[in-house]
């Protein structure tokens, strides 16, 4: 079996821009993956880098030795050493597609190839339910609807303010005005009063505050027992994260901006976090995320994968979650399809299988999902094809 062609897509889907990859083989088996640059800047840069990486390292090769291909890309792409969002996200998408091909060729789910499953369904927490909310009362009303649907874990950005461009505007210059801090506390307090103690409130600070305000804020919200605070400080400074951890009994989490096992080693060795959040779409893919989970297990730390991509990102994340013993909970957007500009990426998104806050683990071969080819066709960024003896042509659209 050889890889003979690849399609790369940049698909607007709700509040995201998904960078997708489809690899084709000469046996008719194909595989799909996603590069985790669905928000923030760099979407088209990631697509172009993915195209170049496929041309140089993937076309014409047997897809079976997944980790050998991964290592070739990592060792010879230069900017992959030390990690980085664009280069490692492109590597992640390729990894997903290769595992998908292998699973389909063997007729087994990817989680089986990774040693799973540990369970037939996964705990999830809901994100995105807060869209359009501002006051504590608005947050509480929206949260109650999710709890009524069976979700027992809810994530929010209490420091964030509504923004027409970025959806959530995080603090700038490491500070908030006093009234903005008061508003953040009110949101959390009202939610806890409305929902009671059995709902886990998971808070994402976006790495936005300096130590002085963090110390005060954490002390004010500690009585409301958040499940975790994600990125209380800039995750690029593990020592700062470790210092925050000494300020509070609230568990701390980070990982969406840590790349490969080498980036997570710094977080774990500095004792900076209680929970790690690798994103399979930007930390190196499935095998790399499983290695990261094993490192976390040695440090007695659980894994709550970050998942803020398209529905394909969810499908890949589920394969990881089912194959690691220290899995905690998976992030999901159950109402992603209601976001303005939503475009279906998959024919069979796993979000449609959610039931009372849990997601069944699929047992179909490969990743267990299919691209919605007709819907995403207008958003093809490039097609690369091997022609003849090693000649590669590329046609961007």
* Token pair of 307 as six digits: 């998942």
366 belongs to a structural domain: no
| pLDDT above 70 (res 360) | yes
Q: What are phi and psi of 219, to 5 degrees?
A: -65, -35
Same domain, residue pair 102 and 138: no
Same domain, residue pair 81 and 185: no
**The domain that contains 149 carries what CATH number?**
3.20.20.120
State whether residue 192 is helix, strand or coil: helix
**Nearest-angstrom CA–CA distance, 232 and 234:** 7
Pairing of β 16-25 and β 167-169: unpaired
Query: Which among 96, 15, 67, 100 is positioned nearest to 338, based on CA atoms?
Result: 15
The overall average pLDDT reported for the chain is 95
Q: What is the DSSP string of 295-342?
A: HHHHTT-EE-----S-HHHHHHHHHHHTT-TTB--EEE-TTGGGSTT-
| pLDDT above 60 (res 391) | no
Domain count for the chain: 2
Is residue 139 within 8 Å of residue 348, measured between CB atoms? no
Same domain, residue pair 98 and 147: no
Question: What confidence tens digit (pLDDT) does each residue in 16-56 have?
Answer: 999 999 999 999 999 999 999 999 899 999 999 999 999 99
| pLDDT above 70 (res 134) | yes
24 belongs to a structural domain: yes
| pLDDT above 90 (res 128) | yes
Q: Which domain holds residue 36?
A: 3-107+371-396
Same domain, residue pair 225 and 123: yes
Same domain, residue pair 199 and 86: no
365 belongs to a structural domain: no
270 belongs to a structural domain: yes
Same domain, residue pair 262 and 133: yes
| pLDDT above 90 (res 83) | no
**The domain that contains 20 carries what CATH number?**
3.30.390.10
* Token pair of 98 as six digits: 């290769």
Same domain, residue pair 119 and 225: yes
Lowest mean pLDDT among 82-96, 352-366, 378-392: 378-392
229 belongs to a structural domain: yes
Position 377 scores a pLDDT of 97
- From start to end of the chain, where are the E strands? 3-13, 16-25, 30-35, 121-126, 153-156, 161-163, 167-169, 200-204, 228-230, 252-254, 275-276, 302-303, 330-332, 358-360, 380-387, 391-396
Same domain, residue pair 139 and 82: no
Is residue 248 within 8 Å of residue 219, measured between CB atoms? yes
Same domain, residue pair 39 and 103: yes
206 belongs to a structural domain: yes
């Amino acid at each position: 079996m050889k890889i003979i062609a690849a399609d790369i897509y940049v698909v607007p889907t709700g509040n995201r821009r998904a960078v997708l990859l489809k690899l084709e083989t000469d046996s008719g088996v194909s595989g799909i993956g996603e590069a985790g640059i669905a928000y923030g800047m760099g979407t088209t840069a990631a697509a172009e880098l993915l195209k170049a990486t496929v041309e140089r390292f993937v076309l014409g090769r047997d897809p079976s030795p997944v980790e050998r291909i991964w290592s070739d890309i990592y060792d010879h792409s230069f900017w992959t050493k030390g990690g980085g969002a664009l280069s490692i996200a492109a590597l992640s998408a390729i990894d997903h597609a290769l595992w998908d091909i292998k699973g389909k060729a063997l007729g087994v789910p990817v989680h089986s190839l990774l040693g799973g499953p540990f369970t037939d369904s996964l705990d999830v927490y809901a994100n995105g339910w807060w869209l359009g909310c501002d006051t504590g009362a608005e947050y509480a009303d929206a949260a109650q609807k999710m709890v009524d649907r069976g979700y027992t874990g809810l994530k929010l950005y209490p420091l964030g303010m509504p923004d027409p461009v970025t959806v959530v505007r995080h603090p700038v210059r490491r500070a908030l005005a006093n009234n903005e801090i008061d508003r953040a506390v009110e949101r959390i307090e009202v939610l806890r009063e409305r929902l009671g103690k059995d709902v886990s409130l998971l808070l994402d600070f976006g790495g936005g505050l300096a130590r002085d305000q963090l110390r005060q804020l954490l002390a004010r919200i500690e009585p409301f027992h958040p499940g975790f605070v994600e990125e209380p400080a800039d995750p690029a400074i593990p020592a700062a994260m470790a210092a925050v951890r000494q300020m509070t009994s609230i568990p701390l989490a980070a990982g969406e901006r840590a790349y490969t096992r080498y980036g997570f080693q710094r977080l774990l060795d500095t004792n900076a976090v209680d929970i790690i959040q690798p994103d399979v779409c930007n930390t190196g893919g499935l095998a790399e995320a499983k290695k990261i989970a094993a490192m976390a297990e040695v440090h007695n730390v659980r894994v709550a994968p970050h998942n803020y991509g398209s529905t394909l990102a969810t499908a890949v994340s589920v394969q990881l979650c089912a194959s690691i013993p220290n899995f905690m909970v998976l992030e999901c957007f159950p109402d992603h399809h209601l976001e303005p500009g939503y475009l279906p990426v998959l024919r069979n998104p796993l979000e449609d299988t959610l039931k009372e806050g849990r997601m069944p683990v699929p047992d179909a071969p490969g990743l267990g999902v299919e691209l919605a080819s007709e819907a995403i066709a207008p958003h093809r960024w490039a097609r690369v094809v091997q022609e003849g003896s090693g000649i590669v042509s590329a046609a961007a659209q």
